[in-house]
Structure 1
Amino acid sequence: MTDGLDGWHERCRSRSRSWPLRAALGAVLLLLTCGLPAVLLAGVLHEAAGRPTVGWSGAPVGDPATRAARELGERIGAQLDRQADALLGGDRAGFLAIAEPAARPALTRRYAALRALRVTVWRPEQTGLPATVPGRPDESRLVVRFQYCFVLPDCRPSPVLIGTRWREDAGTSRLVAVEESRSAEAGARPWEASELVAAVGPRTVVATTPALRGKLPGLLRQAEAAARVADGYVVDGAPPDRYRIFYAGRAEWLSWYGGGRPKWTGGYAVTVGGGHHEVVLNAGGLSATGTDDLLRHELTHAASLPERGYPGKATWWLVEGIAEYVGVGGAPVSRYEGLAEVRELLAPAGGWNGRLDALTPADDAPARRVSGSYGVGYLAVRHLVDRFGEHRLLAFFRAVVHDRRPLDEASGQAFGQPWTALHDECVGYARSAAG
């Protein structure tokens, strides 16, 4: 299980440009369980719904109700397998055939979105036994874990938990409804909630709504350029097989992955399992330059962060600092647009105690406070890179964020220096750079 502050990374709006790097996505400010193992989540769901799980209910093997539920589960499983084969085979009629007419419009949209994303794996796995829907004695509900891949058939699949409802018709199970995913507080994935169009490149998949279709060619070019940069900051293992990027219009921004981002957010990344982080950009107000910076920042999170998320607020400065460092694209420190906000934060009235582990901005923090926090994180990382080089910085990052070692231990291992002294150097460098 994650440590509470894992999984989401966010970016804010600033006065300088529409979606500046310094207030980027990366702040893990929401108490989420995105990294919860799917098996655990399934158990939680079944417990909350009061339904038995296979091997968990304790009912005797020969219990008539249990035997009936298992037989129903087998019929449902056969239908789900047929539907999966149809999806992967491009057979829309077959995909819809297992469902009652009322369920087909939503399924049609979902089918089209998954095909647009070039789904290559779609594997349904039952998490327990079907149970009667309260108040609907003719319907049963079953939570299904779907494992999915896009573009490549041999990727590590991402899991999503989805509630399904069924009705028996002459000995055949018919799908009545598909709910939005309940994989922790992450909320519905874009392909569950919206009609999508997509473009695929060598390193990225970029998707948006039909209304924003015209943005896709430019977004794909920008995403591919950002991916080539982000690939250089992989900390553990290989780069993502494809970076997954979703470009949200106003309505989609409020619904994808549950919405509810802090007001200063312009984009975010969320871990969805299988080694993947999916990135969402807010279409409102993004300029071409801001999009380039934001993509480099966000894809750096996707490349560098562990699947289970990072340890929490105390390491926020490092997680965001490295993403800001990559996001600025090699620009000189003097051109960093957040220096004025850094100066305000470092002032006696700035409200910061001078500790990097206390740098995380609150959800309701003013935009300038957020921008200053990202700026200090960037400058701290920039100092470490200037002094020790990127290779040793990444070794430090891995020790702290992936291996969750104490800062003193990680600093001694990566830099050969005590962290207390380096911490003060980093803060001093930020003061000097901000002027």
Structure 2
Amino acid sequence: MTDGLDGWDEPRRRRPGPLWAALGVVLLLLTCGLPVVVLVGVLHEANGRPTVGRLATSADDPATLAARQLGERIAAQLDRQATALLGGDRAGFLAVAEPAAHPALTRRYAALRALRVTVWRPEPTGLPTTVPGRPDEWRIVVRFQYCVVVPGCRPSPVLIGTRWREVAGTPRLVAVEESRSVETGTRPWEVSELVVAVGPRTVVATTPALRGKLPGLLRQAEAAAQVADGYAVGGTPPDRYRVFYAGRAEWLSWYGGGRPQWTGGYAVAVGGGHYEVVLNADGLSATGADDLLRHELTHAASLPERGYPGTSIWWLVEGIAEYAGAGGTPVGRYEGLAKVRGILAPGGGWNGRLDDLAPAGDAPAQRVGGSYGVGYLAVRHLVDRFGEQRLLEFFRAVVHDRRTLEKASVQVFGELWAGLHDECVAYARSAAG
């Protein structure tokens, strides 16, 4: 089983951090060819809602004062649009925008409604600035916070650039950009038509072309969620597991694309304590989806929202997900044993250290599959020796509390990690035959 979890110490697709931290970073990747915008000057009211214009002073020059006033009018338009979205009023959602923006906004509205959006809170950041080469247009980055299905969830934030033009003193939305941030990349509902199925524990979305897969995917996801709930190391399991099933084009665009060729699926942190899971429809068999869903949903249940510290514990993070993904299959029937034998053999590409097990993005399939397999077997050995509960305590100490393997091993297992490490590797060799 291979995935592309985004969750190392500085995860490749992290959730956006708190707004005060976001103000000091450059948004909108240079690599995407977009203008660089640095957010400054966000102010907060007592209720935490950013404001763009309440503190105008006599020191403001006329241009700044005008920008503040325009920002307040834009915020009012965004609030009207949010009310329309949550109320199912498509005409009202489009009413704040120029006709040229309607097709893209209509698609976005339909996707969010299909996902059963329950919270949509726009928070303008900074002041509007003029768009280079377009003196009649203004641009402002908006932090949208959203929930799907569950009304009381901790919202996930996304930073999106918006462009506006004043018409008879009223700001009109001209365009909404894609959120091409370093942290997460473009969300599916920004760029794709979506069809959605919702169950008690999961929400599963795909494109209209793959609509026929939805009923089966929902059943598989619900079954996988029952397994993944048992690995909620941080306490309460996710309110809903969010799963997106990507066709070929969507795989290249959702969340920034660019995954290693061996990736069959991945879990990406999107903020608010949520992970969103993406499966690659190309080449994924029906039985493979069961294993992969258990694997990826276990990431969503087990990982802390800030990711995990570095590749040295990749074996543990992926090992526990593989253990869940195996679904109780006997060790001798684990499908990756042949690849484990390959990397354990002389010249197999692994030096025998668990902290050096993570495969490179361009690693061959043999190395990748063997790495996941060794991680699974190492975790399986710890479970066999100490039980699942103590394994989860060890995982929490290392991944959540960021204790060293040495300290966590003594604390949880009462044994030195050096000895347990060698036991895990020896067990992998023995199991692979």
TM-score, reference length from structure 1: 0.92
Counterpart in 2 of 1:17? none
The structure-2 alpha-carbon separation of the partners of 1:68 and 1:183, relative to structure 1 and needing over 3 Å to count, comes to same
Q: How far apart in 2 are the matches of 1:73 and 1:305?
A: 38
Q: Which residue of 374, 377, 383 corresponds with 2:375?
A: 377
Q: Which amino acid aligns with 1:37?
A: G
Q: Indicate whether 1:293 and 2:291 are aligned.
A: yes
Output the CA distance in 1 between the equivalents of 2:15 and 2:405: 23
Query: Which segment drifts farther, 229-238 or 59-68?
Result: 59-68
State the Cα distance separating 1:126 from its structure 2 match.
Answer: 1.2
In the other structure, the counterpart of 1:9 is none
Match of 2:14 among 15, 22, 34: 34
Summarize the Cα distance change of 1:266–1:354 in structure 2 as closer, same or farther, 3 Å threshold.
Answer: same
Q: What SS does the corresponding residue of 2:178 show, helix, strand or coil? A: strand
Does the 8 Å CA contact 2:25/2:39 hold for their aligned counterparts?
Answer: no
Unaligned runs of 5+ in 1: 1-20
User: Amino acid of the residue matched to residue 34 of structure 1?
Assistant: R
- 2:60 is paired with a residue of what secondary structure? coil
Once residues 28 and 159 of structure 1 are traced to their aligned partners in structure 2, the CA distance between those partners, rounded to angstroms, is 17
Matched, 1:391 2:379: no
Pairwise CA distance, 1:38: 4.0
> What is the CA RMSD across the aligned residues, in angstroms?
1.9
Partner residue in 2 for 1:43: 24
Match of 1:338 among 336, 339, 351: 336
Which among 47, 53, 61 is matched to residue 41 of structure 2?
53
Greater displacement, 184-193 / 256-265: 184-193
How far is the alpha carbon of 1:52 from its aligned partner?
4.2
Indicate if the aligned counterparts of 2:6 and 2:268 stay in contact, CA closer than 8 A.
no
Using the TM superposition, give the Cα deviation of residue 186 of structure 1 relative to its aligned residue in structure 2, in angstroms. 2.0
Partner of 2:47: none
Map residues 307-386 of structure 1 onto 2, 5 A cutoff.
Answer: 307-386=305-384
- Residue 51 of structure 1, CA deviation: 6.1
Out of 152, 155, 160, the position equivalent to 1:154 is: 152
Equivalent AA in structure 2 for residue 406 of structure 1 = T
Q: Residue 263 of structure 1 aligns with which residue?
A: 261
Whether the 8 Å CA contact 2:24–2:38 is kept in 1: the answer is: no
Determine the C-alpha separation between the residues in 2 that align with 1:222 and 1:305: 21
Distance in 1 of aligned mates of 2:338 and 2:410: 33
Aligned residues: 414
CA distance, structure 2, for counterparts of residue 46 and residue 199 of structure 1 = 33
C-alpha contact 1:131 1:142 (8 A) present in aligned 2: yes
Give 3-state SS (helix, strand or coil) of 2:25's partner.
Answer: helix
Q: 1:224-303 alignment to 2 at 5 Å? A: 224-303=222-301
Query: Over residues 84-143 of structure 1, what are the superposed CA-to-partner deviations in whole Å (9 max), with x where a residue is unaligned?
Result: 000000000000000001100000000000000000000001111111111111001000
Q: Which residue is equivalent to 2:33? A: none
Match of 2:61 among 56, 63, 73: 63
Shift of 1:432: 0.5
User: In structure 1, what is the equivalent of residue 417 of structure 2?
Assistant: 419
Shift of 1:165: 0.2
Task: Find the aligned partners of 2:16 and 2:38 in 1 and give their Cα distance.
Answer: 20
Q: 2-side partners of 1:153 and 1:129: how far apart? A: 30
> What pairs with 1:44-193 in structure 2 (closer than 5 Å)?
44-45=25-26, 48-49=36-37, 52-54=40-42, 61-193=59-191
Percent identical residues: 77
Contact 1:98 1:175 in 2 (8 A): yes
Instruction: Work out the CA distance in 1 between the residues paired with 2:12 and 2:370.
Output: 25
Q: CA deviation at 1:185?
A: 4.3
CA contact (8 A) 2:13 2:269 kept: no
Q: CA deviation at 1:36?
A: 4.3
Paired with 1:328 and 1:274, the residues of 2 have a C-alpha distance of 29
1: distance between equivalents of 2:361 and 2:304?
23
Aligned residues of 2:266 and 2:296 also touching (Cα < 8 A): yes
Higher RCO structure (Cα 8 Å, ≥6 apart)? 1
Does structure 2 conserve the Cα–Cα contact (< 8 Å) formed by 1:41 and 1:184?
no
